[in-house]
């Protein structure tokens, strides 16, 4: 079997342009799909293995496993063949390069850049894990970067259906630097094995090296059985400790201590990125890659329909050029493959293998009835024939025959064309327009016989204004002249604003319109948003997020409750101000008696002090109406009665002290005493009246004159026993003009 060269055509459809890369088992070529007019990559199995049935089976299984997966973060498989002269895969052409080439050019990455790469790697890997598959060969060479900066995971040569079987072998399968401990020991491998390898990949992105080494591959492989992966910050000091924690869990030696799968690893990494506030990052394209070199050698596809006809031959059956349908299976994949970047085609979104409508043309042969020839018909019975000269045959007979033949031909052609139209002729294949600018894509669909209808969609990979997908899908069959939806990218969605009504149902619709998923968060209090309305979101409003991201929404519980403040013993105005400051309203005021609180001050509130109520609740004040007993001591009975009456107190009884006589009768006390509070409903006091005289003023007089004056008024004198009669009085007690009992003692202070 001869090797492939530029210009060779695989099975009449894929024209070889230039080789991109060669591996131990296969060669990857840049090709032109002559049917669809697009650049693709052909991975052709090495002819050394063409007769090896085991190797051929493994290659076929690789194609089937890869065809099961369809996602923008995975390299897509379009076609496959394992029965002809060549065994090959037809895959999406990657136009940038490999992550290995990028690392060789730029060295270690900052955490935000490494996270951007791992986001796509883990996303693609999680798709495989959800499908029950395991990759088993995660490494920089199998991570590709397209021309639109999209990172894609490739080469599922070691993928096997994890749900159907477990991998156990006497040989180590995989790339030594990225093996998990269970791969080294030949144990069971599942999604946790890919998580370990992905952790080693993240370590290399951050530090520029892998964590283990050895003199031999075996020593290198076995080192991870006895040693933990060191924290990346031990190699590059400015790496945040949060990334150390990510790596520690992802690369735990015990699989049960790792993340369960790539999806869990991705979720934890995204939380770390948010917590650290790391910026978004566009992964650069390697400058010196095999893909670029292949692009320089390749010629752009021109007039591909004509090329296909020339290459395949006009008489070739359309049926023989049909794309192979790859059924989804769960058989094991044994071959390690490598998909390298190749082209500068527009970014191509993930597509799914599809089942085509047969393109064979069915012809219904129509055989015309024979035209009778008069010369060959037996003569009717009759008299003997008289021989005469045969008449000449007119041209009109030949013309009739020609007309009949023409009519029959037209009818036959109509039947054939009608059968073709009613069969496959009325259908056309939706062309590849993903990644094209809208107007270019519309023109391509119109040229293919379809009516484009633009619809806006959100996309994580496709830039705004470019086509993210079509409906029907690329390669599917649709009625010519019918509508084909062009799903034009709006880019990544952003978290929408909250409606003016704060309506939760309306906001849920806004999220769904942007592919975002509602998640109910904890309810919060709000003075502005009514109960049940949307208060806030996480991520915040206007934040750009990936499609189908979860947005946590906090709903309002209404205003926060307040505790009724203590306003006891405050004046009415003071209490009102305090309650209003707390967000409450005073709805009414009542009065009641309290023996401890004076008139006009607050006794209590309703609701009571410290009760938890809603903001704006109306509070009733209870004020004291108590009457305070005034001090009427020293007043005459009539003066005392007047003063008590002014405050609403009446005199119940008057008791006169009979032990005193002379002088003036004055009030010596009340019951209750001055300062006590009385109930207005029973405001009465008892008075005690006694005879009292006023103390005369003797200050400034001589001792002799002062003693004489006081004794003359009936007072006793003390304090002058040692004084001279000529000494002057400088002070006296009780004070001058004060009332006291008749015969009381007055103390003098001479000088």
Residues marked as catalytic: 137
User: Is 235 exposed, middle or buried (CB count within 10 Å of its CB: 0-12, 13-18, 19+)?
Assistant: middle
Q: Is the bond preceding residue 167 a cis peptide, omega within 30 degrees?
A: no
Q: Whole-angstrom Cα distance, residue 634 to residue 667?
A: 5
Given a contact cutoff of 8 angstroms between Cβ atoms, the answer to whether 676 and 644 are in contact is no
Burial class for 122, CB neighbours closer than 10 Å (0-12, 13-18, 19+): buried
Task: Classify 407 as helix, strand or coil.
Answer: helix
Closest CA to 66 of 377, 399, 476, 352: 352
- Please name which of 300, 281, 263 lies closest in space to residue 149, comparing C-alpha atoms: 281
Task: State both tokens at 665.
Answer: 């009768």
Pair 492, 439: CB distance under 8 Å: no
Tell me the two tokens of residue 727.
């000494």
Which residues does 162 contact at the CB level (< 8 Å), separation at least 6?
A: 132, 133, 134, 190, 191
Q: Quick check: helix, strand or coil at residue 62?
A: helix
Torsion-angle region of residue 358: left (phi > 0), alpha (psi -120 to 50) or beta?
Answer: beta
Q: What is the 3-state secondary structure (H, E, C) of 337-406?
A: CCCCECCCCCCCCCCCCCCCCCCCCCCCCCCCCCCCCHHHCCCCCCCCCCCCCCCCCCHHHHHHHHHHHH
Which alpha helices (DSSP H) does 435-493 contain, by range? 438-447
Give kind and range of the element (H or E) at residue 113. helix 111-130
The answer to whether the bond into 607 is cis (omega within 30° of 0) is yes
Q: How many of the other CB atoms lie within 10 Å of CB of 495?
A: 21
Long-range contacts of 637-646 (CB under 8 A, 24+ apart): 637/665, 637/666, 637/667, 637/687, 637/689, 639/667, 640/667, 640/670, 640/687, 641/687, 644/685
Six-digit token string for 510:
């806004």
Phi-psi label, residue 397: left if phi above 0, alpha if psi -120 to 50, beta otherwise: alpha
Residues 6+ apart with CB under 8 A from 389: none
Q: Report whether 214 contacts 223 (CB < 8 A).
A: yes
Q: Specify which residues 35 forms β-bridges with.
A: none
Residues contacting 370, CB < 8 A, separation 6+: none
- Edge-first strand listing for the sheet containing 97-98: 97-98, 143-145, 151-153
Instruction: Give yes or no for a contact between 149 and 345, defined as CB atoms under 8 angstroms apart.
Output: no
Within 677-722, strands assigned E span 677-678, 684-694, 716-718
Calpha distance 591→430 (Å, rounded): 88
From the centroid of its chain, how far is CA 308? Answer: 47
């Amino acid at each position: 079997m001869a090797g492939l060269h530029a210009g060779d055509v695989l099975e009449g459809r894929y024209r070889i342009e230039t080789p991109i890369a060669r591996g131990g088992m296969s060669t990857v070529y840049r090709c032109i799909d002559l049917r669809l007019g697009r650049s693709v990559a052909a991975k052709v199995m090495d002819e050394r293995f063409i007769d090896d049935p085991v190797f051929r089976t493994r290659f076929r299984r690789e194609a089937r496993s890869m065809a099961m997966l369809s996602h923008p973060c995975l390299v897509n498989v379009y076609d496959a063949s394992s029965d002809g002269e060549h065994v090959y895969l037809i895959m999406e052409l990657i136009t940038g390069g490999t992550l290995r080439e990028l690392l060789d050019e730029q060295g270690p990455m900052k955490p935000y850049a490494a996270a951007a790469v791992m986001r796509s790697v883990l996303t693609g890997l999680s798709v495989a894990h959800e499908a029950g598959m395991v990759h088993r060969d995660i490494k920089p060479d199998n991570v590709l970067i397209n021309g639109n900066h999209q990172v894609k995971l490739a080469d599922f040569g070691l993928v096997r259906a994890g749900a159907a079987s477990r991998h156990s072998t006497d040989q180590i399968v995989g790339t030594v630097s990225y093996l998990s401990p269970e791969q080294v020991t030949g144990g069971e491998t599942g999604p946790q094995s890919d998580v370990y390898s992905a952790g080693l990949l993240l370590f290399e992105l951050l530090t520029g090296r892998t964590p283990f080494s050895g003199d031999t591959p075996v020593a290198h492989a076995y080192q991870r059985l006895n040693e933990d992966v060191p924290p990346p910050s031990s190699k590059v000091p400015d790496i945040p400790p949060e990334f150390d924690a990510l790596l520690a869990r992802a690369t735990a030696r015990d699989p049960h201590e790792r993340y369960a799968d790539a999806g869990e690893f991705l979720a934890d990494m995204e939380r770390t990125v948010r917590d650290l506030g790391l910026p978004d990052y566009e992964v650069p394209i390697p400058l010196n890659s095999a893909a670029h070199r292949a692009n320089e050698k390749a010629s752009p596809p021109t007039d591909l329909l004509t090329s296909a006809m020339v290459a395949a031959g006009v008489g070739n059956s359309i049926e023989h050029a049909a794309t192979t349908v790859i059924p989804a299976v769960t058989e094991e994949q044994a071959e390690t493959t490598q998909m390298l970047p190749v082209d500068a085609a527009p970014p191509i979104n993930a597509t799914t293998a599809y089942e085509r409508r047969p393109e064979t043309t069915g012809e219904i042969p129509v055989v015309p009835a024979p035209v009778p020839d008069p010369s060959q018909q037996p003569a009717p019975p009759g008299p003997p024939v008289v021989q005469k000269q045969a008449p000449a045959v007119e041209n009109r007979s030949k013309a009739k025959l020609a007309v009949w033949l023409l009519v029959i031909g037209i009818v036959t052609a109509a039947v054939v064309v009608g059968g073709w139209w009613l069969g496959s002729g009325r259908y056309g294949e939706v062309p590849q327009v993903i990644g094209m600018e809208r107007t270019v894509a519309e023109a391509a669909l119109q040229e293919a016989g379809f009516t484009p209808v633009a619809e806006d969609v959100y996309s994580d990979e496709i830039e705004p204004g470019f086509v993210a997908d079509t409906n029907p899908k690329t390669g599917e069959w649709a009625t010519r002249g019918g509508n084909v939806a062009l799903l034009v990218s709006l880019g990544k969605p952003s978290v929408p604003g909250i409606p003016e009504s704060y309506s939760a149902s309306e906001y849920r619709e806004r999220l769904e319109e942007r592919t975002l998923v509602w998640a109910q968060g904890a309810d919060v209090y709000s003075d502005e948003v009514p109960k049940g309305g949307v208060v806030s979101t996480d991520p915040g409003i206007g934040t750009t997020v990936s499609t189908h991201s979860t947005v946590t929404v906090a709903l309002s519980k209404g205003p926060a409750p307040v505790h009724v403040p203590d306003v006891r013993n405050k004046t009415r105005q003071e209490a009102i101000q305090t309650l209003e400051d707390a967000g409450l309203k005073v709805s009414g005021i009542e009065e009641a008696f309290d023996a401890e609180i004076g008139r006009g001050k607050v006794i209590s509130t309703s609701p009571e002090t410290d009760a938890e109520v809603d903001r704006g609740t109306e509070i009733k004040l209870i004020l004291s109406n108590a009457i305070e007993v005034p001090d009427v001591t020293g007043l005459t009975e009539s003066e005392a009665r007047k003063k008590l009456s002014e405050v609403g107190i009446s005199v119940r009884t008057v008791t006169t002290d009979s032990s005193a006589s002379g002088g003036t009768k004055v009030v010596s006390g009340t019951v209750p005493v001055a300062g006590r509070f009385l109930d207005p409903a029973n405001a009465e006091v008892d008075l005690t009246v006694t005879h009292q005289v006023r103390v005369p003023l003797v200050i400034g007089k001589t001792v002799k004159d002062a003693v004489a004056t006081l004794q003359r008024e009936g007072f006793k004198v003390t304090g002058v026993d040692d004084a001279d009669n000529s000494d002057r009085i400088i002070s006296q007690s009780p004070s001058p003009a004060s009332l006291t009992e008749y015969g009381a003692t007055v103390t003098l202070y001479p000088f």
